[in-house]
Structure 1
Amino acid sequence: MTLAGAGRLRHFWVEGVLATALTLSVVTAAYATTALSPYIAKPAPTYAKVEAEVPAAPPAPPPPEFAFGEPVPGHSVNSPFGLRRMPWERHGRLHEGVDIAAPSGKPVVAVADGVITKSGRSASYGRYVEVRHSEGLVSFYAHLGRIDPHARAGVAVKGGTMIGKIGSSGTSTGPHLHFEIRQNDRPLNPAAFIDREFATAQDLPLKAAAYYPKRVRVAQVASTPASKRVGSGARETEDGRVAATLQVAAATVAD
Protein backbone atom coordinates (compact mmCIF):
# COMPACT_ATOMS: atom_id res chain seq x y z
CA MET A 1 0.00 0.00 0.00
CA THR A 2 1.35 3.34 -0.98
CA LEU A 3 1.51 6.37 1.23
CA ALA A 4 -1.25 8.08 -0.74
CA GLY A 5 -3.57 5.13 -0.28
CA ALA A 6 -2.78 4.98 3.43
CA GLY A 7 -3.62 8.67 3.74
CA ARG A 8 -6.95 8.28 2.04
CA LEU A 9 -7.76 5.29 4.26
CA ARG A 10 -7.05 7.32 7.41
CA HIS A 11 -9.17 10.18 6.06
CA PHE A 12 -12.16 7.90 5.43
CA TRP A 13 -11.67 6.27 8.83
CA VAL A 14 -11.64 9.64 10.64
CA GLU A 15 -14.74 10.81 8.73
CA GLY A 16 -16.50 7.56 9.61
CA VAL A 17 -15.69 7.96 13.30
CA LEU A 18 -16.88 11.57 13.30
CA ALA A 19 -20.08 10.67 11.46
CA THR A 20 -20.75 7.83 13.88
CA ALA A 21 -20.14 10.08 16.89
CA LEU A 22 -22.43 12.79 15.48
CA THR A 23 -25.18 10.26 14.80
CA LEU A 24 -24.90 8.83 18.31
CA SER A 25 -25.10 12.32 19.86
CA VAL A 26 -28.20 13.20 17.85
CA VAL A 27 -29.90 9.91 18.73
CA THR A 28 -28.94 10.28 22.38
CA ALA A 29 -30.28 13.85 22.51
CA ALA A 30 -33.55 12.83 20.82
CA TYR A 31 -33.94 9.92 23.24
CA ALA A 32 -33.25 12.14 26.23
CA THR A 33 -35.78 14.70 25.05
CA THR A 34 -38.41 12.02 24.53
CA ALA A 35 -37.74 10.27 27.79
CA LEU A 36 -37.58 13.38 29.93
CA SER A 37 -40.32 15.35 28.20
CA PRO A 38 -42.95 14.59 30.94
CA TYR A 39 -40.59 16.13 33.50
CA ILE A 40 -39.61 19.24 31.62
CA ALA A 41 -41.56 22.32 32.68
CA LYS A 42 -43.53 23.79 29.86
CA PRO A 43 -44.37 27.46 29.61
CA ALA A 44 -47.92 28.28 30.75
CA PRO A 45 -50.29 28.92 27.89
CA THR A 46 -51.27 32.51 27.38
CA TYR A 47 -54.85 33.55 26.80
CA ALA A 48 -56.35 36.80 25.63
CA LYS A 49 -57.66 38.81 28.61
CA VAL A 50 -61.42 39.08 28.46
CA GLU A 51 -63.03 41.73 30.66
CA ALA A 52 -66.66 41.22 31.61
CA GLU A 53 -68.90 44.00 30.45
CA VAL A 54 -70.54 45.77 33.38
CA PRO A 55 -74.05 46.86 32.39
CA ALA A 56 -74.49 50.58 32.61
CA ALA A 57 -76.73 51.76 35.43
CA PRO A 58 -80.10 53.01 34.18
CA PRO A 59 -80.37 56.79 34.25
CA ALA A 60 -81.98 58.20 37.37
CA PRO A 61 -85.56 59.32 36.80
CA PRO A 62 -85.96 63.08 36.67
CA PRO A 63 -87.30 64.69 39.85
CA PRO A 64 -91.04 65.35 39.88
CA GLU A 65 -92.12 68.76 38.69
CA PHE A 66 -94.67 69.00 41.51
CA ALA A 67 -94.17 67.78 45.07
CA PHE A 68 -96.70 68.68 47.75
CA GLY A 69 -96.12 68.18 51.43
CA GLU A 70 -98.40 68.37 54.46
CA PRO A 71 -99.45 71.85 55.65
CA VAL A 72 -99.47 70.62 59.26
CA PRO A 73 -96.97 67.72 59.34
CA GLY A 74 -98.26 64.73 61.27
CA HIS A 75 -101.89 65.87 61.32
CA SER A 76 -104.56 64.64 58.92
CA VAL A 77 -107.71 66.16 57.48
CA ASN A 78 -110.73 65.88 59.76
CA SER A 79 -113.22 68.04 57.83
CA PRO A 80 -113.19 67.31 54.09
CA PHE A 81 -113.75 69.30 50.92
CA GLY A 82 -117.39 69.37 49.74
CA LEU A 83 -120.86 70.57 50.67
CA ARG A 84 -121.22 71.23 54.37
CA ARG A 85 -123.72 72.87 56.74
CA MET A 86 -122.63 74.44 60.01
CA PRO A 87 -125.01 74.36 63.02
CA TRP A 88 -125.88 78.05 62.62
CA GLU A 89 -126.61 77.77 58.87
CA ARG A 90 -129.95 76.89 57.28
CA HIS A 91 -128.49 75.56 54.06
CA GLY A 92 -125.33 73.82 53.01
CA ARG A 93 -122.57 75.46 51.03
CA LEU A 94 -119.31 74.39 49.51
CA HIS A 95 -116.51 73.97 52.00
CA GLU A 96 -113.81 75.10 49.59
CA GLY A 97 -110.92 73.52 51.44
CA VAL A 98 -110.19 71.09 54.25
CA ASP A 99 -109.81 71.59 57.98
CA ILE A 100 -106.91 70.10 59.94
CA ALA A 101 -107.31 70.18 63.71
CA ALA A 102 -104.09 70.62 65.71
CA PRO A 103 -102.96 72.19 68.98
CA SER A 104 -102.47 75.96 69.05
CA GLY A 105 -98.92 76.94 68.20
CA LYS A 106 -98.27 73.94 65.94
CA PRO A 107 -96.19 75.03 62.88
CA VAL A 108 -97.97 75.51 59.55
CA VAL A 109 -95.71 75.16 56.49
CA ALA A 110 -95.93 75.90 52.78
CA VAL A 111 -96.84 72.70 50.93
CA ALA A 112 -94.64 73.49 47.89
CA ASP A 113 -92.22 76.02 46.46
CA GLY A 114 -93.84 79.31 45.59
CA VAL A 115 -94.15 83.03 46.22
CA ILE A 116 -96.30 84.58 48.94
CA THR A 117 -98.91 86.80 47.30
CA LYS A 118 -101.00 87.79 50.32
CA SER A 119 -100.52 87.87 54.07
CA GLY A 120 -102.99 89.54 56.40
CA ARG A 121 -106.22 89.24 58.32
CA SER A 122 -109.95 89.17 57.52
CA ALA A 123 -113.10 88.91 59.62
CA SER A 124 -113.95 85.43 58.40
CA TYR A 125 -110.56 83.78 57.70
CA GLY A 126 -108.71 85.49 60.53
CA ARG A 127 -104.95 85.54 59.96
CA TYR A 128 -104.12 84.03 56.58
CA VAL A 129 -101.31 83.51 54.07
CA GLU A 130 -101.66 82.85 50.33
CA VAL A 131 -98.88 81.27 48.23
CA ARG A 132 -98.78 81.09 44.42
CA HIS A 133 -97.16 78.07 42.78
CA SER A 134 -96.49 77.09 39.16
CA GLU A 135 -99.30 76.15 36.76
CA GLY A 136 -101.54 78.80 38.36
CA LEU A 137 -101.98 76.79 41.57
CA VAL A 138 -102.54 78.71 44.80
CA SER A 139 -102.45 77.41 48.37
CA PHE A 140 -104.29 79.24 51.16
CA TYR A 141 -103.79 78.93 54.94
CA ALA A 142 -106.38 80.46 57.27
CA HIS A 143 -107.40 80.84 60.94
CA LEU A 144 -103.72 81.11 61.90
CA GLY A 145 -102.88 82.07 65.44
CA ARG A 146 -99.71 83.76 64.24
CA ILE A 147 -98.16 84.66 60.88
CA ASP A 148 -94.39 84.21 60.64
CA PRO A 149 -92.69 87.65 60.44
CA HIS A 150 -90.90 86.60 57.23
CA ALA A 151 -94.14 85.52 55.51
CA ARG A 152 -94.77 88.73 53.62
CA ALA A 153 -96.12 89.34 50.11
CA GLY A 154 -93.41 88.97 47.48
CA VAL A 155 -91.25 86.57 49.52
CA ALA A 156 -90.25 83.30 47.82
CA VAL A 157 -90.67 80.21 50.00
CA LYS A 158 -89.57 76.60 49.69
CA GLY A 159 -91.87 73.71 50.43
CA GLY A 160 -91.70 72.95 54.15
CA THR A 161 -90.96 76.56 55.18
CA MET A 162 -92.95 77.68 58.23
CA ILE A 163 -95.34 80.47 57.36
CA GLY A 164 -97.37 80.58 60.57
CA LYS A 165 -98.78 78.66 63.50
CA ILE A 166 -102.08 77.00 64.33
CA GLY A 167 -104.67 79.20 65.99
CA SER A 168 -108.37 79.99 65.96
CA SER A 169 -108.60 83.49 64.51
CA GLY A 170 -111.56 84.74 62.50
CA THR A 171 -114.80 82.76 62.30
CA SER A 172 -113.35 79.60 63.79
CA THR A 173 -114.74 76.75 65.85
CA GLY A 174 -111.45 75.85 67.55
CA PRO A 175 -107.71 75.57 66.89
CA HIS A 176 -107.26 74.30 63.34
CA LEU A 177 -106.02 75.18 59.88
CA HIS A 178 -108.39 75.86 57.02
CA PHE A 179 -106.39 74.89 53.92
CA GLU A 180 -107.32 75.47 50.29
CA ILE A 181 -105.83 74.82 46.85
CA ARG A 182 -107.14 76.72 43.84
CA GLN A 183 -106.38 77.09 40.16
CA ASN A 184 -107.65 80.17 38.35
CA ASP A 185 -109.85 80.85 41.37
CA ARG A 186 -111.50 77.40 41.06
CA PRO A 187 -111.46 75.48 44.36
CA LEU A 188 -109.84 72.04 44.21
CA ASN A 189 -109.88 69.25 46.77
CA PRO A 190 -106.60 69.62 48.70
CA ALA A 191 -106.69 65.92 49.63
CA ALA A 192 -105.79 65.15 45.99
CA PHE A 193 -102.50 67.04 46.42
CA ILE A 194 -101.39 66.73 50.04
CA ASP A 195 -98.29 64.53 50.44
CA ARG A 196 -98.20 63.57 46.76
CA GLU A 197 -95.78 63.98 43.83
CA PHE A 198 -96.52 64.47 40.13
CA ALA A 199 -93.96 63.96 37.36
CA THR A 200 -95.39 66.59 35.02
CA ALA A 201 -98.16 69.16 34.85
CA GLN A 202 -100.21 66.68 32.81
CA ASP A 203 -100.31 64.38 35.86
CA LEU A 204 -101.96 66.94 38.12
CA PRO A 205 -105.43 65.62 39.12
CA LEU A 206 -107.21 68.86 38.25
CA LYS A 207 -110.44 67.33 36.97
CA ALA A 208 -110.76 64.78 39.76
CA ALA A 209 -109.96 67.38 42.42
CA ALA A 210 -112.72 69.70 41.18
CA TYR A 211 -115.39 67.05 41.82
CA TYR A 212 -117.37 66.84 45.06
CA PRO A 213 -120.42 64.72 46.03
CA LYS A 214 -123.81 66.40 45.84
CA ARG A 215 -124.66 65.71 49.44
CA VAL A 216 -124.41 67.98 52.43
CA ARG A 217 -122.49 67.02 55.54
CA VAL A 218 -123.67 68.43 58.85
CA ALA A 219 -120.72 69.64 60.88
CA GLN A 220 -120.40 69.16 64.62
CA VAL A 221 -118.21 71.81 66.21
CA ALA A 222 -116.25 72.25 69.42
CA SER A 223 -117.44 75.83 69.88
CA THR A 224 -119.65 78.37 68.12
CA PRO A 225 -118.04 81.65 67.08
CA ALA A 226 -119.40 84.62 69.03
CA SER A 227 -120.66 86.23 65.82
CA LYS A 228 -122.81 83.16 65.13
CA ARG A 229 -124.30 82.51 68.57
CA VAL A 230 -127.35 84.77 68.37
CA GLY A 231 -130.27 82.75 67.07
CA SER A 232 -128.11 79.75 66.34
CA GLY A 233 -129.99 77.54 68.77
CA ALA A 234 -126.79 75.78 69.74
CA ARG A 235 -126.71 74.44 73.27
CA GLU A 236 -123.55 75.67 74.95
CA THR A 237 -121.89 74.94 78.22
CA GLU A 238 -120.81 77.73 80.57
CA ASP A 239 -117.43 78.05 78.86
CA GLY A 240 -119.13 78.53 75.49
CA ARG A 241 -118.25 75.12 74.08
CA VAL A 242 -120.62 72.75 72.31
CA ALA A 243 -120.61 69.16 73.54
CA ALA A 244 -119.22 67.82 70.27
CA THR A 245 -115.97 67.34 68.39
CA LEU A 246 -114.34 69.02 65.43
CA GLN A 247 -114.95 65.98 63.28
CA VAL A 248 -117.59 66.07 60.58
CA ALA A 249 -120.72 64.12 61.44
CA ALA A 250 -121.55 61.15 59.28
CA ALA A 251 -125.15 62.27 58.99
CA THR A 252 -126.24 63.77 55.69
CA VAL A 253 -129.25 65.66 54.49
CA ALA A 254 -130.91 65.71 51.11
CA ASP A 255 -129.76 68.11 48.38
Structure 2
Amino acid sequence: MSLALSPQHLRVALFSMLGIAAMVIALNGAVAMSEWIARAPTSSAIPAVAQPAPEPEVQAPPPAFVFDAPLPGRVINSPFGLRQMPWEESGRLHQGVDIAAPAGAAVKVAAPGVVKATGVSATYGRYVLVVHKGGLSTLYAHLARPARSVKRGAYLRRGDIVAFVGNSGRSSGSHLHFEIRKGDKPLNPSFFLGRTFAEADDLPLRAAGRVSRKVHKATVSRWPPGVTKPAKEKVQLARLKTGRAKAAIPVSTVPAPAASTALSSAEAAI
Protein backbone atom coordinates (compact mmCIF):
# COMPACT_ATOMS: atom_id res chain seq x y z
CA MET A 1 0.00 0.00 0.00
CA SER A 2 1.49 3.35 -1.02
CA LEU A 3 1.79 6.19 1.66
CA ALA A 4 2.15 8.98 -0.90
CA LEU A 5 -0.44 11.77 -0.54
CA SER A 6 -2.31 13.09 -3.42
CA PRO A 7 -1.78 16.75 -4.39
CA GLN A 8 -5.18 17.66 -2.97
CA HIS A 9 -4.33 16.14 0.41
CA LEU A 10 -0.99 17.99 0.45
CA ARG A 11 -2.71 21.32 -0.09
CA VAL A 12 -5.13 20.68 2.79
CA ALA A 13 -2.29 19.71 5.11
CA LEU A 14 -0.26 22.79 4.14
CA PHE A 15 -3.13 25.20 4.75
CA SER A 16 -3.86 23.54 8.09
CA MET A 17 -0.24 24.00 9.20
CA LEU A 18 -0.24 27.61 8.05
CA GLY A 19 -3.43 28.27 10.03
CA ILE A 20 -2.00 26.73 13.17
CA ALA A 21 1.17 28.82 12.79
CA ALA A 22 -0.85 32.02 12.35
CA MET A 23 -2.85 31.31 15.52
CA VAL A 24 0.35 30.70 17.49
CA ILE A 25 1.87 33.99 16.25
CA ALA A 26 -1.31 35.92 17.10
CA LEU A 27 -1.47 34.47 20.61
CA ASN A 28 2.20 35.20 21.24
CA GLY A 29 1.73 38.78 20.00
CA ALA A 30 -1.26 39.38 22.28
CA VAL A 31 0.66 38.06 25.29
CA ALA A 32 3.64 40.27 24.44
CA MET A 33 1.43 43.35 24.02
CA SER A 34 -0.29 42.82 27.38
CA GLU A 35 3.08 42.45 29.11
CA TRP A 36 4.36 45.64 27.46
CA ILE A 37 1.26 47.56 28.57
CA ALA A 38 1.66 46.25 32.11
CA ARG A 39 5.30 47.41 32.20
CA ALA A 40 4.58 50.84 30.69
CA PRO A 41 4.86 53.74 33.22
CA THR A 42 1.57 55.26 34.34
CA SER A 43 2.87 58.76 33.61
CA SER A 44 2.51 58.08 29.93
CA ALA A 45 -1.24 58.59 30.21
CA ILE A 46 -2.64 61.52 28.23
CA PRO A 47 -2.82 64.55 30.54
CA ALA A 48 -6.26 66.07 31.21
CA VAL A 49 -7.00 69.28 29.38
CA ALA A 50 -7.13 72.19 31.83
CA GLN A 51 -10.52 73.96 31.89
CA PRO A 52 -10.49 77.76 31.76
CA ALA A 53 -11.31 79.48 35.05
CA PRO A 54 -14.86 80.89 35.17
CA GLU A 55 -15.08 84.63 34.74
CA PRO A 56 -16.04 86.49 37.93
CA GLU A 57 -19.58 87.83 38.08
CA VAL A 58 -19.87 91.52 37.41
CA GLN A 59 -21.26 93.19 40.53
CA ALA A 60 -23.42 96.27 40.09
CA PRO A 61 -21.99 99.33 41.87
CA PRO A 62 -23.75 100.26 45.13
CA PRO A 63 -26.31 103.04 44.86
CA ALA A 64 -24.95 106.52 45.46
CA PHE A 65 -27.95 107.64 47.54
CA VAL A 66 -30.06 105.50 49.88
CA PHE A 67 -32.87 106.98 51.96
CA ASP A 68 -34.40 104.91 54.75
CA ALA A 69 -37.59 105.71 56.64
CA PRO A 70 -36.64 107.28 60.00
CA LEU A 71 -39.52 105.39 61.63
CA PRO A 72 -39.90 102.13 59.67
CA GLY A 73 -43.49 100.91 59.48
CA ARG A 74 -44.98 104.19 60.70
CA VAL A 75 -47.48 106.19 58.64
CA ILE A 76 -47.21 109.81 57.53
CA ASN A 77 -50.23 111.58 59.05
CA SER A 78 -49.47 115.09 57.82
CA PRO A 79 -47.92 115.39 54.34
CA PHE A 80 -45.59 117.91 52.73
CA GLY A 81 -47.34 120.94 51.19
CA LEU A 82 -49.70 123.75 52.04
CA ARG A 83 -51.35 123.17 55.40
CA GLN A 84 -53.67 125.11 57.64
CA MET A 85 -53.72 124.37 61.35
CA PRO A 86 -56.91 125.06 63.36
CA TRP A 87 -55.30 128.10 65.00
CA GLU A 88 -54.14 129.58 61.68
CA GLU A 89 -56.19 131.87 59.44
CA SER A 90 -54.60 130.68 56.21
CA GLY A 91 -52.49 127.88 54.81
CA ARG A 92 -48.71 127.91 54.83
CA LEU A 93 -46.04 125.56 53.63
CA HIS A 94 -45.51 122.51 55.80
CA GLN A 95 -41.88 121.97 54.89
CA GLY A 96 -41.69 118.30 55.82
CA VAL A 97 -43.85 115.40 56.92
CA ASP A 98 -45.23 114.42 60.32
CA ILE A 99 -44.99 110.76 61.32
CA ALA A 100 -47.08 109.64 64.28
CA ALA A 101 -45.29 107.44 66.79
CA PRO A 102 -45.36 106.83 70.54
CA ALA A 103 -43.05 108.88 72.73
CA GLY A 104 -39.64 107.27 73.09
CA ALA A 105 -39.68 105.45 69.74
CA ALA A 106 -36.20 105.26 68.20
CA VAL A 107 -35.64 107.51 65.18
CA LYS A 108 -33.07 106.30 62.64
CA VAL A 109 -31.00 108.56 60.43
CA ALA A 110 -32.40 108.55 56.89
CA ALA A 111 -28.98 108.47 55.22
CA PRO A 112 -25.31 108.50 56.27
CA GLY A 113 -24.17 111.98 57.23
CA VAL A 114 -22.62 114.36 59.74
CA VAL A 115 -24.50 116.04 62.58
CA LYS A 116 -24.55 119.75 61.80
CA ALA A 117 -26.49 120.98 64.82
CA THR A 118 -28.60 119.94 67.79
CA GLY A 119 -30.65 122.20 69.99
CA VAL A 120 -34.05 123.51 71.02
CA SER A 121 -36.33 126.02 69.29
CA ALA A 122 -39.75 127.42 70.17
CA THR A 123 -41.48 125.74 67.22
CA TYR A 124 -39.37 122.67 66.40
CA GLY A 125 -38.66 121.83 70.02
CA ARG A 126 -35.64 119.57 70.35
CA TYR A 127 -34.11 118.89 66.94
CA VAL A 128 -31.16 117.34 65.13
CA LEU A 129 -29.87 118.59 61.78
CA VAL A 130 -27.77 116.18 59.66
CA VAL A 131 -25.95 117.07 56.43
CA HIS A 132 -25.38 114.53 53.66
CA LYS A 133 -23.47 114.40 50.41
CA GLY A 134 -24.82 116.18 47.36
CA GLY A 135 -25.84 119.27 49.34
CA LEU A 136 -28.72 117.43 51.03
CA SER A 137 -29.73 117.69 54.67
CA THR A 138 -32.34 116.11 56.94
CA LEU A 139 -34.05 117.56 60.00
CA TYR A 140 -35.60 115.62 62.91
CA ALA A 141 -37.82 117.71 65.21
CA HIS A 142 -40.22 117.60 68.21
CA LEU A 143 -37.84 115.09 69.78
CA ALA A 144 -37.77 113.85 73.35
CA ARG A 145 -33.96 113.88 73.12
CA PRO A 146 -31.13 113.12 70.72
CA ALA A 147 -29.24 109.85 71.05
CA ARG A 148 -26.26 110.06 73.45
CA SER A 149 -23.68 109.72 70.68
CA VAL A 150 -25.29 112.44 68.56
CA LYS A 151 -23.12 115.53 68.94
CA ARG A 152 -22.14 118.24 66.50
CA GLY A 153 -19.60 116.77 64.06
CA ALA A 154 -20.52 113.13 64.78
CA TYR A 155 -20.72 110.83 61.76
CA LEU A 156 -23.87 108.72 61.52
CA ARG A 157 -23.95 105.51 59.52
CA ARG A 158 -26.95 103.99 57.85
CA GLY A 159 -29.31 102.59 60.47
CA ASP A 160 -27.84 104.57 63.39
CA ILE A 161 -30.31 105.94 65.94
CA VAL A 162 -30.32 109.72 65.81
CA ALA A 163 -32.98 110.55 68.41
CA PHE A 164 -36.19 109.52 70.18
CA VAL A 165 -39.74 110.65 69.42
CA GLY A 166 -41.21 113.31 71.68
CA ASN A 167 -43.70 116.16 71.86
CA SER A 168 -41.44 119.17 72.34
CA GLY A 169 -41.94 122.59 70.79
CA ARG A 170 -45.18 123.66 69.11
CA SER A 171 -46.66 120.19 68.85
CA SER A 172 -50.16 118.84 69.30
CA GLY A 173 -49.09 115.26 70.09
CA SER A 174 -46.26 112.77 70.08
CA HIS A 175 -44.76 112.57 66.56
CA LEU A 176 -41.67 113.16 64.43
CA HIS A 177 -41.41 116.14 62.10
CA PHE A 178 -38.99 115.16 59.29
CA GLU A 179 -37.57 117.33 56.51
CA ILE A 180 -35.27 116.86 53.51
CA ARG A 181 -33.60 119.86 51.88
CA LYS A 182 -31.34 120.60 48.95
CA GLY A 183 -29.46 123.65 50.15
CA ASP A 184 -32.21 125.95 51.45
CA LYS A 185 -35.00 124.43 49.35
CA PRO A 186 -37.44 122.08 51.13
CA LEU A 187 -38.23 118.85 49.29
CA ASN A 188 -41.11 116.41 49.65
CA PRO A 189 -39.66 113.48 51.66
CA SER A 190 -42.17 111.08 50.10
CA PHE A 191 -40.12 111.15 46.89
CA PHE A 192 -37.03 109.86 48.75
CA LEU A 193 -37.93 107.60 51.67
CA GLY A 194 -37.47 103.91 50.96
CA ARG A 195 -35.77 104.57 47.60
CA THR A 196 -32.25 104.31 46.19
CA PHE A 197 -30.64 106.38 43.45
CA ALA A 198 -27.57 105.34 41.44
CA GLU A 199 -26.38 108.87 40.72
CA ALA A 200 -27.01 112.42 41.82
CA ASP A 201 -28.70 113.10 38.49
CA ASP A 202 -31.34 110.49 39.40
CA LEU A 203 -32.54 112.44 42.44
CA PRO A 204 -36.12 113.71 41.87
CA LEU A 205 -35.25 117.26 42.90
CA ARG A 206 -37.65 118.99 40.51
CA ALA A 207 -40.64 116.77 41.29
CA ALA A 208 -39.98 116.80 45.03
CA GLY A 209 -39.73 120.59 45.04
CA ARG A 210 -43.17 121.16 43.56
CA VAL A 211 -45.89 122.37 45.93
CA SER A 212 -49.52 121.62 45.24
CA ARG A 213 -51.87 124.59 45.45
CA LYS A 214 -54.33 122.55 47.47
CA VAL A 215 -54.39 123.45 51.16
CA HIS A 216 -54.56 120.55 53.58
CA LYS A 217 -56.65 121.42 56.64
CA ALA A 218 -55.15 119.64 59.60
CA THR A 219 -57.08 118.28 62.55
CA VAL A 220 -55.55 117.91 66.00
CA SER A 221 -56.65 116.34 69.27
CA ARG A 222 -55.50 119.39 71.24
CA TRP A 223 -53.92 122.76 70.69
CA PRO A 224 -50.28 123.24 71.66
CA PRO A 225 -49.76 125.03 75.00
CA GLY A 226 -49.58 128.79 74.69
CA VAL A 227 -51.01 128.93 71.16
CA THR A 228 -53.59 131.67 70.67
CA LYS A 229 -55.45 132.76 67.60
CA PRO A 230 -53.02 134.94 65.59
CA ALA A 231 -53.77 138.40 64.32
CA LYS A 232 -55.05 138.51 60.77
CA GLU A 233 -52.15 138.44 58.34
CA LYS A 234 -51.79 140.15 55.02
CA VAL A 235 -52.15 137.35 52.48
CA GLN A 236 -51.43 136.89 48.84
CA LEU A 237 -54.03 135.06 46.76
CA ALA A 238 -52.57 132.47 44.42
CA ARG A 239 -54.77 132.55 41.33
CA LEU A 240 -55.33 130.06 38.57
CA LYS A 241 -55.31 130.98 34.88
CA THR A 242 -59.05 131.52 35.19
CA GLY A 243 -58.39 134.23 37.76
CA ARG A 244 -60.17 132.46 40.59
CA ALA A 245 -58.42 132.10 43.94
CA LYS A 246 -57.24 128.60 44.79
CA ALA A 247 -55.26 129.05 48.00
CA ALA A 248 -54.20 131.74 50.43
CA ILE A 249 -50.52 131.84 51.37
CA PRO A 250 -49.00 134.29 53.88
CA VAL A 251 -46.81 136.92 52.24
CA SER A 252 -44.51 137.42 55.20
CA THR A 253 -42.94 134.12 56.19
CA VAL A 254 -39.97 133.37 58.40
CA PRO A 255 -36.92 132.01 56.51
CA ALA A 256 -36.74 128.23 56.49
CA PRO A 257 -33.93 126.40 58.31
CA ALA A 258 -30.88 125.47 56.26
CA ALA A 259 -27.83 123.33 56.80
CA SER A 260 -25.64 126.42 56.51
CA THR A 261 -27.40 128.47 59.23
CA ALA A 262 -28.29 128.00 62.87
CA LEU A 263 -31.79 126.61 63.32
CA SER A 264 -32.61 129.05 66.09
CA SER A 265 -32.70 131.85 63.53
CA ALA A 266 -35.24 130.05 61.38
CA GLU A 267 -38.38 128.84 63.11
CA ALA A 268 -40.77 128.56 60.22
CA ALA A 269 -42.78 125.35 60.31
CA ILE A 270 -44.01 122.85 62.81
TM-score of the alignment, normalized to the shorter chain, above 0.5: yes
More displaced, 27-36 or 201-210?
Answer: 27-36
Asked whether 1:216 is paired with 2:215, we answer: yes
- Measure how far apart 1:28 and its partner are: 3.7
Letter in 1 for 2:186: P
Asked whether 1:30 is paired with 2:22, we answer: yes
Segments of 5+ residues of structure 2 without an aligned counterpart are: 1-15, 38-44, 232-244, 248-270
Distance 1:115 1:31 in 2: 96
Letter in 2 for 1:59: V
* Correspondence for 2:114: 115
- Measure how far apart 1:58 and its partner are: 2.4
Distance 2:79 2:209 in 1: 13
Distance 1:126 1:29 in 2: 116
Letter in 2 for 1:31: M
Segments of 5+ residues of structure 1 without an aligned counterpart are: 1-23, 233-252
Distance 2:221 2:21 in 1: 114
SS of corresponding position for 1:103? coil
SS of corresponding position for 2:127? strand
Distance 2:201 2:57 in 1: 24
- Measure how far apart 1:95 and its partner are: 0.7
Pairing 1:156-195 to 2, within 5 Å after superposition: 156-195=155-194
* Correspondence for 2:89: 90
Distance 1:50 1:207 in 2: 59
- List per-residue Cα deviations over 1:197-249 (Å, max 9, x = no partner): 111112111111111221111111122112224579xxxxxxxxxxxxxxxxx
Distance 2:230 2:58 in 1: 65
Distance 2:179 2:74 in 1: 16
* Correspondence for 2:224: 225
- The 3 A distance-change label for structure 1 pair 55 and 188 is same
* Correspondence for 2:102: 103
- The 3 A distance-change label for structure 1 pair 26 and 222 is farther
- The 3 A distance-change label for structure 1 pair 29 and 69 is farther
Letter in 1 for 2:205: L
SS of corresponding position for 1:78? strand
Counterpart contact for 2:84–2:92, Cα < 8 Å: yes
- The 3 A distance-change label for structure 1 pair 192 and 231 is closer
Distance 1:187 1:29 in 2: 108
SS of corresponding position for 2:129? strand
Distance 2:216 2:29 in 1: 101
Distance 2:192 2:24 in 1: 91
Which structure is larger by alpha-carbon Rg, 1 or 2?
Answer: 1
* Correspondence for 2:138: 139
- Measure how far apart 1:79 and its partner are: 1.2
Letter in 2 for 1:85: Q
Distance 1:231 1:207 in 2: 33
Instruction: Give the TM-score normalised by the residue count of structure 1.
Output: 0.73
Counterpart contact for 2:80–2:94, Cα < 8 Å: yes
Counterpart contact for 2:104–2:144, Cα < 8 Å: yes
Pairing 1:9-88 to 2, within 5 Å after superposition: 28-32=20-24, 49-50=48-49, 55-88=54-87
- Measure how far apart 1:193 and its partner are: 1.2
* Correspondence for 1:200: 199
* Correspondence for 1:244: none
Distance 2:81 2:181 in 1: 14
Distance 2:228 2:25 in 1: 120
